[in-house]
């Protein structure tokens, strides 16, 4: 319970600090959409194979609510990783490189592990940030760094690419290096 309270306070204070005052420069329009749902296949080094679902929706200028879940299993052990929180996104180089955004996020994370009649749950925070760069009108690359306190506290880095092949529909591939490396492939629908 203490971890959940601390995680909630951290999440709230990060959101208030960013929203109050001029933490970042004045909001500028982004070339990216932060209104999406996505899903795909995930394989992890120490948690087997499974699927992931993510969603995000802009609730104010440059602010989005985001969340996701990853389900995976290996042998008889089942894993789930739930996240929900806020994201702040900002175009960081206005005129010179119009397709470059900074993304900062704070999320509450719950890790759940189950084997037969045994289970374990751990709650923590996931704080991170990254950049998105539009390399072509229908392609982007991105990179992230995240600190997570649920489970074993660790720092992970991830990167990937997205390609729009039909208006509003993208394919993505992502690799994550953390405590249990992961690789994901899937589709994103932007609205």
The predicted-structure confidence for 23-66, as pLDDT tens digits, reads as follows: 444 555 577 999 999 999 999 998 999 999 999 999 999 999 99
pLDDT of residue 28: 53
**Confidence band for 132, pLDDT divided at 50, 70 and 90:** very high
What value does the CA radius of gyration of the chain take, rounded to a whole number of Å? 17
| CATH value of 2-190 in 1.10.720, 2.40.160, 1.10.3470, 2.60.40 | 2.40.160
CA angle 85, 90, 93 (to 5 degrees): 155
Taking only the tens place, the pLDDT of each residue in 99-109 is: 899 999 999 99
Question: Nearest CA to 87 among 7, 169, 31, 15?
Answer: 15
pLDDT of residue 21: 45
Instruction: State the residue for tokens 């200028």.
Output: 61
Q: How many angstroms separate the CA atoms of 86 and 58, rounded?
A: 10
What stretches of the chain adopt beta strand conformation (E)? Answer: 36-44, 48-60, 63-74, 77-91, 100-115, 118-136, 139-148, 154-166, 169-177, 182-190
Residue 12 has pLDDT above 80, yes or no: no
pTM for this prediction: 0.83
């Amino acid at each position: 319970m203490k971890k959940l309270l601390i995680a909630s306070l951290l999440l709230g204070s990060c959101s208030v600090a960013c929203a109050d005052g001029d933490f970042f420069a004045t909001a500028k329009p982004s070339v990216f959409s932060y209104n999406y749902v996505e899903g795909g296949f995930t394989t992890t080094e120490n948690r087997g194979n499974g699927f992931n679902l993510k969603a995000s929706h802009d609730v104010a200028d440059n602010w989005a609510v985001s969340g996701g879940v990853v389900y995976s299993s290996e042998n008889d052990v089942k894993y789930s990783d739930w996240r929900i929180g806020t994201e702040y996104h900002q175009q960081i180089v206005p005129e010179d490189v119009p397709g470059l955004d900074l993304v900062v996020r704070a999320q509450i994370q719950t890790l759940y592990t189950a084997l037969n009649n045994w289970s374990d749950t751990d709650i923590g925070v996931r704080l991170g940030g990254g950049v998105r760069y539009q390399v072509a009108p229908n392609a982007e690359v991105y990179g992230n760094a995240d600190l997570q306190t649920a489970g074993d506290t660790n720092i992970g880095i991830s990167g990937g690419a997205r390609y729009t092949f039909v208006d509003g529909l993208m394919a993505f591939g992502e690799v994550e290096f953390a405590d249990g490396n992961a690789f994901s492939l899937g589709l994103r629908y932007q609205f």
